[in-house]
Structure 1
Amino acid sequence: MTNTTIDIVSIADAPWHDVQTVFGTRGDPSSCWCQYFKMDNAEWKTASRATCEPLLKQQVRDLDPAPGVLAYLDGEPVGWCAVEPRPKYRRLDRMRVLAGSPEQPHDDSVWAVTCFVVRVGFRKRGIGKALLAGAVDHARRCGARVVEGYPVDPAEREKVSSAELYHGSVSLFAANGFREVSRPTPDRAVMQLDLTA
């Protein structure tokens, strides 16, 4: 078995062409660019790669801290995880899954992990787990008190496509030390990691 190294870096420290490689040119990531949770319904209806990619690029340039982390496998850009203070994600306020959080909705010390992207051909190699650990480290360094995720529980669904796992899985979050705090729906959990403990 070949030894491989997974490195996690802030998106602010990555060349933009590496970000483009991860988001790709087809499938959901290539059209969303992690803007879904930041837009209202009217904005989302007219969104496209032409509007969303420049928005993420501007957020990387303008926001401190940066809105997520990239994964590199032996130097190749292979994955992305979105993590920011929860109030940055306007759409979360209106989502049923957030109703299960015991935290106040506009608390900047609560960070949310909303999205994972792992390139086709690089899945099932531990990249998701490394991304989540890197996202937690990023949040901790930037002053987060709690990190939350809203993963899918594949055991509660008849069938789950890889595209539906962009929230992550319950087992992925549990493997990174998160605990389940509620089940707003049978197949979705709110999971938290307390960084002050």
Structure 2
Amino acid sequence: MATITTERATIARWDDVQHSITGGGDGASCQCIWPVLRNKDWNSTTLDQRREMFRDEIEAGPPPGIVAYIDGEAAGWIRIGPRTRQTRLEYTRTIAAATSEPFDDETVWAVTCFVVRREHRGKGLNAALLEAAVDYARESGARIIEAYPVDTGGRRQHANEMFHGMLSTFHTAGFHQTGELKPGRPLVTLTL
């Protein structure tokens, strides 16, 4: 049986972060910068610029996410951090309409991205990543965590549509639906 471990993303783990996000899906091209840029700014960046922005963010700290390992190999990623550092959220109308939390509150954190390498999917990495993210948020003084997962309704979805995570993963971790962005896209929260 494989051993899953998790570590916070620091600059010393930069190669592991890159390995975890480049094994399938949009992670390689997104560089997990999508949540921190408004759409107009995102559209004006190149892959190299996004990679450099991501590296700078990790180097500056605090860690913007967690890396999961299977038997020591980087295999997955989750973005977790204060909503105030994930600019896109405030400018996403559906999120602004669904949340009851003020956007200037540093104690409101958000989970905005999961990436799991193709060869490691179906091994429980998203659950392990979310558990580590909740622990990190709690230890960092977060009051509440928001997320915007996909409710698959039991239907198979394309991997690129699943970067927000699955609703069932959040329910298992104790999150509750507190709003809806649109059909099939709930807003879920966990009070810490």
Aligned residue type for 1:190 = L
Two-structure CA RMSD over aligned residues (Å): 1.7
Q: Of residues 65, 68, 84 in structure 2, which corresponds to 1:68?
A: 65
For residues 131 and 85 of structure 1, the distance between their equivalents in structure 2, rounded to whole angstroms, comes to: 17
Aligned residue type for 2:76 = G
For residues 135 and 184 of structure 1, the distance between their equivalents in structure 2, rounded to whole angstroms, comes to: 22
User: Cα distance, 1:14 vs. partner?
Assistant: 4.8
Counterpart position of 1:52: 50
User: Cα distance, 1:165 vs. partner?
Assistant: 0.5
- Please give the residue correspondences for 1:143-182 in structure 2 after superposition, counting only pairs within 5 Å: 143-155=141-153, 160-182=157-179
TM-score, normalization by structure 2: 0.93
Conserved 8 A contact 1:97-1:185: no
SS at match of 1:121: helix
Cα distance change, pair 144–136 in 1 and its aligned pair in 2 (3 A): same
User: Cα distance, 1:46 vs. partner?
Assistant: 2.4
Conserved 8 A contact 2:11-2:55: no
TM-score, normalization by structure 1: 0.91
For residues 36 and 130 of structure 1, the distance between their equivalents in structure 2, rounded to whole angstroms, comes to: 23
Counterpart position of 1:93: 90
For residues 26 and 121 of structure 1, the distance between their equivalents in structure 2, rounded to whole angstroms, comes to: 9
Q: Of residues 33, 37, 40 in structure 1, which corresponds to 2:38?
A: 40
Q: Does 1:111 align with 2:112?
A: no
Give the number of equivalent residue pairs: 191
User: Cα distance, 1:97 vs. partner?
Assistant: 2.9
For residues 116 and 88 of structure 2, the distance between their equivalents in structure 1, rounded to whole angstroms, comes to: 23
Report Cα offsets for 1:98-119 as digits up to 9, x if no partner.
Answer: 4211211221100000000000
Report Cα offsets for 1:105-157 as digits up to 9, x if no partner.
Answer: 2211000000000001100100000000111111111110111111011118x
Conserved 8 A contact 1:101-1:182: yes
**Greater Cα offset, 28-37 or 147-156:** 147-156
- State the percentage of identical aligned residues: 37
User: Cα distance, 1:39 vs. partner?
Assistant: 1.2
User: Cα distance, 1:15 vs. partner?
Assistant: 2.4
Counterpart position of 2:184: 187
Counterpart position of 2:19: 21
For residues 102 and 110 of structure 1, the distance between their equivalents in structure 2, rounded to whole angstroms, comes to: 11
Cα distance change, pair 172–54 in 1 and its aligned pair in 2 (3 A): same
For structure 1, which runs of at least 5 residues remain unmatched after alignment?
A: none
Aligned residue type for 1:51 = Q
